[in-house]
């Protein structure tokens, strides 16, 4: 099944890591945002594609099957976030 690389444009911070890891696969626009490869390039370079997904510091890249299901997306996390423990009780 064909898969395509997608960017969460809200999460993407234009670090350019995807381009640094695979410059012949991902180009950057004038503002540093990725210009993504075609699905045929994604299929031919599956290892490189997974590597750039895994290394994205903003967790903005995902691999999506043509039927719309997401694969290979890393779970987003907040740096420095503290899990909610419920309301604090006053003594």
Query: How confident is the model at residue 8, as a pLDDT?
Result: 96
Query: How confident is the model at residue 89, as a pLDDT?
Result: 56
Spell out, as residue ranges, where the chain has pLDDT lower than 50: 73-84
Q: Residue 90 domain-assigned?
A: no
Q: Residue 30 domain-assigned?
A: yes
Q: Residue 89 domain-assigned?
A: no
Q: What's the predicted TM-score (pTM) here?
A: 0.70
Residue-number span of the structural domain to which 16 is assigned: 3-71
Q: Residue 8 domain-assigned?
A: yes
Its sign, for the CA torsion 29, 44, 2, 13, is negative
CATH of the domain at 44: 3.30.70.20
Query: How confident is the model at residue 79, as a pLDDT?
Result: 44
Structural domain total, the chain: 1
Q: Which residue carries 């987003």 as its tokens? A: 76
Q: Residue 81 domain-assigned?
A: no
Query: How confident is the model at residue 3, as a pLDDT?
Result: 86
Residue 71 bridge partners (DSSP): 63
Give the long-range contacts of residues 75-78, CB within 8 A, separation 24 or more: 76/11
Q: Residue 11 domain-assigned?
A: yes
């Amino acid at each position: 099944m064909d898969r395509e690389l997608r960017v969460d444009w809200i999460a993407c911070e234009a670090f350019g890591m995807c381009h640094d890891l695979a410059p012949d696969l991902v180009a950057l626009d004038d503002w540093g945002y990725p210009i993504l490869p075609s699905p045929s390039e994604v299929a031919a370079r599956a290892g490189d594609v997974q590597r750039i997904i895994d290394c994205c510091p903003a967790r903005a890249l995902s691999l999506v099957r043509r039927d719309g299901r997401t694969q290979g997306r890393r779970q987003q996390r907040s740096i420095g976030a503290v899990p909610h423990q419920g309301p604090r009780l006053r003594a």
